[in-house]
Structure 1
Amino acid sequence: MDNSGGLPDIAKVDWKAPFQWLAGGWRDLWKAPLPCLTYGLLLALVSFAVSYALVSSDAEFWALALTCGFVFVAPMIAMGLYEAGRQIELGQKPTLGEMLYVRDAVRLDLAYLGLFLLMIYLLWGRIAQIIYGLSTYQLHRTVDDFVNFALNTPDGNTMLITGTVAGGLMAFLTYCCVVVAAPMLLDRHTGVFAAIATSVRAVTENFWPMLLWAVILGALTLATAATGFLALTIVFPWLGLASWRAYRELVPGPLAE
């Protein structure tokens, strides 16, 4: 049912909901392991290649900045996983081809959302560069030099704290706008502004569970960096399918076939 403002109703969830979404996403992952894990592997290989190229080129700062900024574009990259979650919910078997080319995602409103996320991603890169530039007059050309500066100097510590606060604030505001909007635009024929408004309402009306969900998504995604992003093979499909379940519980309604 829609509310008086023309937007879908938002369900109330408790603090246990994020863990239930994770459990449901894990079950869904093993209902279609081959296409989902292949999807994750492709992303892991691309992420590893980009990071390796940056570090090998002594551009470790950009490797760190782009790793943190990955959370801004992840909702659009996960579109194929939302499609897999939709098909699994319908009792169907998703294929890799259907996940790589999601026909229902070829819409102007989804393009607008993708453009919005891309602009945020580029803005974060510029802000990160400014924070780094204001923190030191030196250019750290090796990984060891950069890590030593970041962890063992007052200016480096300030850079990390400032970057964490700025990036965390930007990431959370972006999360509020897209956590529901991205899968909703795939599932329903609605406009991008209505989808974003619904996403913001879902967060504000379930603030603490959704804050916990944001922390879980961010922590698990960024933790994959410790494996050279190879852990994205499993983590990203898992979180993508869990995010579909989160959307379906937060914005209840019939599923379009």
Structure 2
Amino acid sequence: MSTPWRLPDVADVGFDAPFRWLAGGWADLWRTPGPCLAYGFGVSALLAAAAWGLYASSLAFWAVIAALGLVLVAPILAMGPYEAGRRIEAGEPVRLGRIVLVRTALRPDVFLLGVALFLIFSIWLQAAQIVYGLSTYQLHDTLPEFLAFALGTGEGRRMLVAGGLAGGVIAFAAYTLVVVSAPMLLDPRYDVFMASVTSVRTVLRNPGPMMLWAFVVAALVLGSVATGFVAMIVVLPWLGLASRRAFRALVVPHEAAAATGPAGEGAEVRP
């Protein structure tokens, strides 16, 4: 399939768009609950095992930071639900094997996006280590010890504020890069450069709605982490399907724009 010679159009959306994406993703989830929930269970089990491994190694701080950093890498983990959403839209059957091993995701451009997210995640870890190191001279081996320091002392609360500000900036940079580029890369016509630039353009063109979508995604992911990753079984495929709908509403291929005009759902296409 040939590569488009210029970037796709970007649509304007309103503040109600994130809620429509969530509602559509929820409906999609229950059209094919078996494969989607099985996918969510598998990813959740792996994440829980990794977090428990860090905690069992007396690395409570790193377990907490890595769990919070899941917000950064969640888009790459949702390739299966993106493919499920594409299949639902195309009227194709959704099978677990097809969404666990997504053939169109096995290409260098998806790998490069994953590397970019890993580098941002590494910066996140280094920033957290610096803030933690400047806040205390002690290492907190257990989660109760760490929470007692973070919530019960002035140094801990200042650490949370400084870490929240630094982490928020890093997380939003990652979100801007990947919010539509991850599902977009399942279309082999687009490379990682086109997808990443288009992702940034969608945020710049729709700052309010995309900030709201970022808050919704972060709240659901972090809320799932707080349940010991149990809620992630449902939340990961739900957000993946909703993100596929967000991509379809925000990114308009030129042939679609020429054939249909505005992008639908009340959106206005802007080049």
TM range (shorter): over 0.9
Partner of 1:143: 143
8 Å Cα contact 2:12/2:205 also seen in 1:
yes
Partner of 1:44: 44
Amino acid at match of 1:94: V
**Where in structure 2 are the equivalents of 1:25-64 lying within 5 Å?**
25-64=25-64
Q: Distance in 2 between matches of 1:186 and 1:34?
A: 22
CA drift of 1:184 comes to 0.9
Partner of 1:194: 194
Q: Distance in 1 between matches of 2:75 and 2:146?
A: 30
8 Å Cα contact 1:44/1:233 also seen in 2:
yes
The CA RMSD measured in Å over matched residues stands at: 1.3
Ranges in structure 1 where 5+ consecutive residues have no aligned partner: none
For 1:11, what is the secondary structure of its paired residue?
strand
CA drift of 1:102 comes to 0.6
**Where in structure 2 are the equivalents of 1:127-142 lying within 5 Å?**
127-142=127-142
Partner of 1:89: 89
**Where in structure 2 are the equivalents of 1:1-257 lying within 5 Å?**
6-253=6-253
Q: Report percent identity of matched pairs.
A: 51
- The aligned length equals 251
CA drift of 1:131 comes to 1.2
Q: Distance in 1 between matches of 2:212 and 2:17?
A: 10
Ranges in structure 2 where 5+ consecutive residues have no aligned partner: 257-271
CA drift of 1:54 comes to 2.1
Q: Distance in 1 between matches of 2:177 and 2:109?
A: 14
Q: Distance in 2 between matches of 1:158 and 1:76?
A: 32
Deviation string for 1:174-233 (max 9, x for gaps)?
111110111111124122111111001101101100000000000000001221011100
8 Å Cα contact 1:68/1:167 also seen in 2:
no
8 Å Cα contact 1:79/1:182 also seen in 2:
yes
For 1:151, what is the secondary structure of its paired residue?
helix
TM-score (norm 1): 0.94
8 Å Cα contact 2:61/2:141 also seen in 1:
no
Q: Distance in 1 between matches of 2:198 and 2:108?
A: 18
Amino acid at match of 2:173: L
For 1:10, what is the secondary structure of its paired residue?
strand
